[in-house]
Amino acid sequence: MNVSISPSRVHGTTRAPPSKSYTHRAILASGYSDGAVVRDALDSADTKATARAVEAFGGTVAYDDSRQHATLDVTGFDGRPEVPDDVIDCANSGTTIRLVTACAALADGLTVLTGDDSLRSRPQGPLLDAVEQLGGRAESTRRNGQAPVVVGGAIEGGSVSIPGDVSSQYITALLLAGAVTDEGIEVDLETELKSAPYVDITLEVLADFGVETEQTEDGFAVEGGQSYRPADGEYRVPGDFSSMSYLLAAGAIAADDEGLLVRGAQPSAQGDSAIVDVLDRMGAEIDWDREAGEIEVHRSALSGVEVDVGDTPDLLPTIATLGAVADGDTRIVNCEHVRYKETDRVSAMAEELAKLGANVTEQEDTLTIHGDDTELVGTRVDGRADHRIVMSLGLAGLVAEGTTTVGGAEHVDVSFPGFFDTLYDLGAEVHRD
């Protein structure tokens, strides 16, 4: 599907979709339990992949009729996953395959995990190695550290050593599974942990499900023999700051005099709440009422800044688009790990913004957008089958001269299914081709 966006002003009130990161973890945590209700869950392609995995392991996940803020009634497999009857297809969800890999290692038999072309290109090797350190079986069918993977072995826990600068999801997967092993799991980090706030999210969800963890001198540990039991059998998912970043950016570059109010912004462990500080440093008129969970933002003259995305890789596409609108240079640093997402997001944003007229300098670990030498002009751009690239390019269409057509717009279903509907409701000129 193609979506065309013309220069527009946005205004009014909207609500952020539920957090994808929290929803993934809550669904799997509910699977590890004997049952739980997950409220305000994100109903998206990625989170459905995790729900399918829970069902493959012997649980059930029942949805209500809501499109985004769904209620999920989960019957869990109570800490011991069954061996699936068939291959588990994780589609395009890297979070699913990584979290589920450690879960599969608990089963007596073998589980085969795979996904689409993009997923089968992403690194899984360090997590497979960790499972083998715990006495399980974990191997890539192509022997390249990528899916399809075969996992099993009924691990009982132990200690593992794993790099911290490839994916924080490896640590999350091991901590989630470790709570229901006999011995627990201790994770020692070989390198500095990147995307650390995502581990903080995991620790927060585990605590809400009654699972105790600890931070050690070299990493993290979780005792075994624990049970997943959320208070009153329910868990409520907070709003998603990664998705909210596009709404806040839209307000900063395209709001009319009324401004834009975004609800569902309660404080949490999400590192991507840093978008509020980034916009503030760039000169946006933005105010966050943390108690009410509301952020108000107005169109402002923005100036380029330097942003380290070591802990917030999902913000890179949003910040890159903001840099193309701002005066001066916007330098996004510490971003090499952002190349290993659904696509190489560093190159993707550099190349697609360049099509729109941006002057961009790409280096291995740095992306610089030269705002003073940029004049955005609408053209056809490629969303690269990546939801975050699609949404960020959609933002550029709000201010680029002429019409911007984004190819592959259907991929917003991964994290923000109603994104273009939301822009339209806020006043943007949006057309589906």
Distance CA 433, CA 252 (A): 27
Distance CA 221, CA 342 (A): 29
142 labeled part of a ligand binding site: no
285 backbone dihedrals φ, ψ, rounded to 5°: -85, 100
CA end-to-end span of the chain, whole Å?
7
Residues 6+ apart with CB under 8 A from 12: 258, 260, 261, 425, 426, 427
169 labeled part of a ligand binding site: yes
Q: Which two tokens stand for residue 259?
A: 């401004």
59 labeled part of a ligand binding site: no
Which single residue is written with the structure tokens 């943390």?
290
Q: E strands of 76-222, at which residues?
A: 88-89, 110-114, 137-140, 149-152, 158-162, 185-189, 213-215, 219-222
300 labeled part of a ligand binding site: no
194 labeled part of a ligand binding site: no
299 labeled part of a ligand binding site: no
Catalytic residue among 208, 311, 314, 329: 314
Structural element, H or E, at residue 432: strand 429-432
Secondary structure class of 21 (helix, strand, coil): helix
**Which of 1, 6, 2 is CA-nearest to residue 377?**
6
433 labeled part of a ligand binding site: no
243 labeled part of a ligand binding site: no
25 labeled part of a ligand binding site: yes
* 372 noted as active-site residue: no
93 labeled part of a ligand binding site: no
**Residue 159 burial (CB < 10 Å; 0-12/13-18/19+)?**
middle
Which single residue is written with the structure tokens 């609408």?
378
355 labeled part of a ligand binding site: no
- Residues in the annotated binding site: 20-21, 25, 94, 122, 167-169, 195, 314, 341, 345, 388
- Residues in the annotated binding site for 3-phosphoshikimate: 20-21, 25, 167-169, 195, 314, 341
- Active site residues per annotation: 314
- Residues in the annotated binding site for phosphoenolpyruvate: 20, 94, 122, 169, 345, 388
